[in-house]
Structure 1
């Protein structure tokens, strides 16, 4: 028994029931909510993953994701958007909100189950890192007044904490771990996003832009090499 609890949030009841049935066959414990309002009235902290539609009622999936990511108790819960909004801009917007994956409707149940397994596997791996003590040398990377703590998933700039979504944190950690190396967009996608998930290259550019704006004076250390990619240069 996998014993992971998943919440499916979608205003299409038939789709909710279909996803619940198939995910339960895989050994997951699954609850459903037919609106973001209903979901937000539940204790979301008990779930290992939320499958979330975008276009729903008065509170959209975008809004629900923002609410979750703004709550320290819920911010670490992985979110997969399952939606008919399938443009590149929609996908970028969803991933930029901190979602772990973005699946466009119509989709196959087999594909959804594979994505769920992948995201939960990644989340479990991250949880094992968090158990390491902050005194572990491998948990900290520093550059002058910039510090990353992988155990606490915490970034500080000159003593002030800067909140970074998971993907931004992982990209920054990768660049600081390999100062002087230029990573192509393809390398970022392969290392930060699972290989089986289709993510457009523009997502890398969006996250780099946001990182630069959040890191203050250190943002200028993230350099662009036209035609190649990005990296951290002292």
Structure 2
């Protein structure tokens, strides 16, 4: 069963420990960071929500949220933790991209309730870390693919394509979407290059290539 993963960012060690312990007891996976700078370093697509302190040394929570929303274009839900609770503070927090705001001191019951509400409201789903289909296993974290227990050697681009499609089975991705995600929009890469890479992936997957399909005129799709 997949579990929601939360990143707690606060410069108070005792508070980080209390939040981590209680969130883990509630069934969440938890990573912690003592600064916004550290949080930006360890934040990954696997994190489903960020509990973010506003007032920290160095980069503030507001600045981190602005960076996530405006520079990195990430939509990971953010709940601010702060001793500030004036109307201006609330407006600043929400304009920075917050999904909710909890004033210190707070009860752990309130934190858990707010987390559940935000996850439900934003419809955040835990990202798959592994997929088993047919005789194939894809480990998205270790970037490994096996068929019938044998390792399949894929290039980074080939794994990027397979991973992109397999994480959302049934969805058809256009060549333009694959180009933007895997080649980061490199204008020198042609649509034909994507077709060649997918043909190579299919050849390496052998009998499991049937899961990687071409929807003529639309793009490519992974079928479970």
Q: Deviations over 1:92-119 (max 9, x none)?
A: 1101112100011000010000000000
Q: Deviations over 1:71-104 (max 9, x none)?
A: 45x5210000010111111011101112100011
Residue 90 (str. 1) matches residue 89 (str. 2): yes
- Residue aligning to 1:65: 65
TM-score, normalised with respect to structure 1: 0.51
Instruction: Name stretches of at least 5 consecutive residues in structure 2 with no aligned partner.
Output: 127-167, 173-224
**SS of the residue 2:123 aligns to:** helix
Q: Which structure is larger by alpha-carbon Rg, 1 or 2?
A: 2
| Cα drift, residue 125 of structure 1 | 6.6
8 Å contact from structure 1 (residues 2, 28) kept in 2: no
| Cα drift, residue 9 of structure 1 | 0.1
> Kindly tell me: are residues 110 and 45 of structure 1, through their superposed partners in 2, closer, same or farther at Cα, counting changes over 3 Å?
same
> Kindly tell me: are residues 132 and 98 of structure 1, through their superposed partners in 2, closer, same or farther at Cα, counting changes over 3 Å?
farther
| Cα drift, residue 44 of structure 1 | 3.0
8 Å contact from structure 2 (residues 48, 76) kept in 1: yes
Distance 1:4 1:91 in 2: 26
Residue 5 (str. 1) matches residue 5 (str. 2): yes
TM-score, normalised with respect to structure 2: 0.54
| Cα drift, residue 132 of structure 1 | 11
Residue 43 (str. 1) matches residue 47 (str. 2): no
8 Å contact from structure 1 (residues 2, 27) kept in 2: no
Q: Which runs of 4+ in 1 moved over 6 A?
A: 130-134
Aligned length: 131
Q: Deviations over 1:188-229 (max 9, x none)?
A: xxxxxxxxxxxxxxxxxxxxxxxxxxxxxxxxxxxxxxxxxx
8 Å contact from structure 2 (residues 49, 78) kept in 1: yes
Distance 1:131 1:100 in 2: 28
Distance 1:112 1:56 in 2: 20
8 Å contact from structure 1 (residues 47, 77) kept in 2: yes
Residue 25 (str. 1) matches residue 25 (str. 2): yes
Instruction: Name stretches of at least 5 consecutive residues in structure 1 with no aligned partner.
Output: 135-234
Calculate the aligned-residue CA RMSD, in Å: 2.5
| Cα drift, residue 45 of structure 1 | 2.2
